[in-house]
Amino acid sequence: MDLVRVTIYTTQEALELVGFALERAGVPQYELVEDSEVVQKFLDETAASWDYVEAEEVLSAREPCVRAFLSENETGQAQLRAVRASIEQLKKDLCGMDAGSLRIETDLVRQEDWADNWKRYYKPTPIGKRLLIKPSWEETEDPEGRLVLNMDPGMVFGTGTHETTQLSLLALEEFVRPGMRVLDLGCGSGILAIGALLLGAGQAVGVDIDPNARDIARVNLHENGFADEQCEFLTGNVLEDETLLTRLGRADLVVANIVAGVIIPLAEKVPSLLKPGGTFITSGIISERKDEVEQALRNAGLTPVVMHEKNDWICLAARLS
């Protein structure tokens, strides 16, 4: 399946605001492309880390912009509509700030081209004290004896390089106990569900609204030596499908690496998915919305117990009384 590349042009100062607008639209993974002068300064300071081709590609964008890739299917079309609506809302909320044209351009990208490009930058990444995220196509040995999590996310979210995923894995390392049952809501590539199994969970279930996620996550599950009986991947929306919610049953731990705008309404449904004393780990929260999310958790009867933070991203763990 090909991808739709969405490019939103803005100013250097408004890059993060546009990124937050994408998050509100349910698109947590995006790329900030800075002003060429800023990028040139960075390249000059880090010349040893770049080859000529990479530098030319980075400098090819002369105007700051935010880019995201959506699936070319009904889910992607719905996300694109949400992105357009969120940008329109941003225009109303600027209060005089110069955010540039905020024009949106879309073009089709062949899956093969997209995969070849991003794979060049996907390298083994140690997480916490116990995990090493490794691209499935690379041969890597970890001298520290970490648990190796092989990943090929394909067209869905979950490489392990984004702060929100890393924070979620850190929290899983802290809270997963042998034999636990774990639910991963918004599972994407399956990285968190599979990570939980590696850390000792007995069984996991992953759910995502993107129909591509189920097949990609199953491939990653098998790549890591687990059988289908150990982790089931489902397609659906737990916010809207009560039948799916019932089917999921209760777990010792629920993890959701999504965005604040989804976590807040999700919070009220989480207690029905947790066993008494169970833990809810949620990430994808920008620091400005931490208080909102915490209040939603408390309103649902969940008590925040741990917070991890990295580059203005927040991960919260909360207990069900």
The residues spanned by each domain of the chain are 3-119, 157-320
| C-alpha span between 232 and 223 (Å, rounded) | 15
What tens digit of pLDDT does each residue of 78-109 get? 999 999 999 999 998 888 889 999 999 999 88
What tens digit of pLDDT does each residue of 183-227 get? 999 998 899 999 999 999 999 999 998 887 899 899 999 999 999
Confidence of residue 115 (pLDDT cuts 50, 70, 90): low
Name which of 250, 312, 307, 318 is nearest 281 in CA terms: 318
Beta strands in the chain (DSSP E): 3-9, 31-33, 65-71, 104-109, 125-127, 131-135, 147-151, 181-185, 203-208, 231-235, 251-257, 274-286, 302-310, 313-320
Asked if CATH classification 3.30.70 holds for the domain at 3-119, the reply, yes or no, is: yes
Per-residue pLDDT, 50: 38
Mean pLDDT of the chain: 84
| C-alpha span between 282 and 256 (Å, rounded) | 5
> What is the identity of the amino acid at 63?
E
What tens digit of pLDDT does each residue of 2-26 get? 789 899 999 888 887 898 888 788 8
Q: pTM here? A: 0.72
Which of 87-91, 115-119, 134-138, 215-219 is predicted least confidently? 115-119
The CATH class of 157-320 is alpha beta
Name which of 60, 31, 58, 61 is nearest 47 in CA terms: 58
Displacement of CA 158 from its chain's centroid (Å)? 5
> What is the identity of the amino acid at 27?
V
